[in-house]
């Protein structure tokens, strides 16, 4: 499998491509990483250095990959944090060109906007672009519950309303939706869930909630789920594998007292997920 991954990059720590690429490589995926920013560290520190990469420069890198004859072999275009407003056009153009070269390729969009605790942390125009132009072009989307609500202009909370919001998202264009960080009021205390839906049904998985802020964990989740789903075509199996891997990554990071993901130290969790959590069909 080959994935063209258009995301941010940091030198210190693990978010964007700096979080997604290594786990994908560890499970045998060839990744062509294209950066939308090149920062010293993620913005959660409140200070960082390095440039937003202009749309023309991002497009040039993608064109260079195309000139190597690679587009016909790309199975997935994956996008995450977009940085500047013009990146959306570059991503959509890349998706169209890859799909023209390989009609079986899919586009997986992680619509990074923010979360329930922090609110939106991207430029004000980005959420509108995602909702109106980018998400409708995607085959797979991986929003958290907060982002799902913004995209669909709904308020997902319990299982029923979250499923309704997923249906609204799927009506926009994507056939497959993974909802991360689902916090429904009826769940047992001290747990958190993920929900995955495609044409064959809906599945939910519950894990203990690890009390830490884990920048980059959503990027790892989107990457692994996309790869597993593309490989198997089985949304429940992809959900089980991804949940197991990401939980062990987070547990290792928490136990290690690290602010940054212990991405390399947790590599066995990607290669050989323990499958310790039950995935339940809810529709």
Average pLDDT, the chain: 95
- Find the CATH number of the domain harbouring 256: 3.40.1190.20
Total domains present in the chain? 1
pLDDT score recorded for residue 177: 98
Does the pLDDT at position 124 exceed 90?
Answer: no
pLDDT score recorded for residue 113: 83
Residue percentage of the chain with pLDDT more than 90: 89
* 126 — pLDDT class (breaks 50, 70, 90): confident
Instruction: Of 25, 152, 167, 173, give the one whose Cα is nearest residue 109.
Output: 173
pLDDT greater at residue 172 or residue 82: 172
* 117 — pLDDT class (breaks 50, 70, 90): low
* 121 — pLDDT class (breaks 50, 70, 90): low
The mean pLDDT value for 67-88 works out to 92
Domain span at 133 = 2-281
Instruction: Of 267, 210, 225, give the one whose Cα is nearest residue 106.
Output: 225
For the beta sheet containing 176-182, the strands, ordered from the edge strand earlier in sequence to the opposite edge, are 30-39, 2-10, 76-79, 106-109, 140-141, 176-182, 191-198, 201-208, 279-281
* Lookup result for tokens 């085959």: 139
* 112 — pLDDT class (breaks 50, 70, 90): confident
pLDDT score recorded for residue 116: 58
Does the pLDDT at position 123 exceed 90?
Answer: no
* 209 — pLDDT class (breaks 50, 70, 90): very high
The mean pLDDT value for 152-179 works out to 97
The mean pLDDT value for 169-186 works out to 96
pLDDT score recorded for residue 127: 82
pLDDT greater at residue 204 or residue 114: 204
* 142 — pLDDT class (breaks 50, 70, 90): very high
* 85 — pLDDT class (breaks 50, 70, 90): confident
């Amino acid at each position: 499998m080959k994935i063209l991954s258009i995301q941010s990059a940091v030198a210190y720590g693990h978010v964007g491509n700096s979080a997604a690429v290594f786990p994908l490589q560890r499970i045998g995926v060839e990744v062509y990483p294209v950066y939308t920013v090149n920062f010293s560290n993620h913005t959660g520190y409140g200070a960082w250095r390095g440039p937003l990469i202009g749309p023309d420069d991002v497009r040039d890198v993608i064109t260079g990959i195309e000139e190597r004859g690679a587009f016909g072999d790309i199975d997935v275009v994956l996008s995450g944090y977009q940085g500047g407003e013009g990146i959306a056009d570059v991503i959509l153009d890349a998706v169209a060109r890859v799909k023209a070269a390989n009609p079986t390729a899919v586009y997986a969009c992680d619509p990074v906007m923010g979360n329930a605790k922090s609110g939106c942390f991207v430029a004000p125009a980005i959420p509108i672009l995602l909702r109106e132009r980018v998400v409708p072009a995607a085959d797979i989307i991986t929003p958290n519950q907060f982002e799902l609500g913004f995209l669909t202009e709904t308020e997902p909370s319990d299982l029923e309303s979250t499923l309704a919001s997923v249906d609204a998202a799927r009506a926009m264009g994507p056939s497959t939706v993974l909802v991360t960080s689902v916090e429904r009021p009826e769940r047992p205390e001290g747990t958190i869930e993920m929900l995955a839906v495609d044409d064959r049904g809906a599945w939910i998985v519950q894990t203990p909630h690890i009390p830490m802020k884990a920048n980059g964990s959503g990027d790892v989740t989107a990457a692994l789920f996309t790869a597993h789903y593309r490989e198997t075509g089985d949304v429940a199996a992809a959900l089980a594998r991804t949940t197991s891997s990401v939980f062990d990554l987070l547990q290792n990071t928490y136990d290690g007292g690290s602010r940054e993901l212990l991405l390399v130290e947790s590599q066995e969790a990607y290669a050989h997920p323990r499958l310790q959590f039950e995935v339940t069909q809810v529709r």
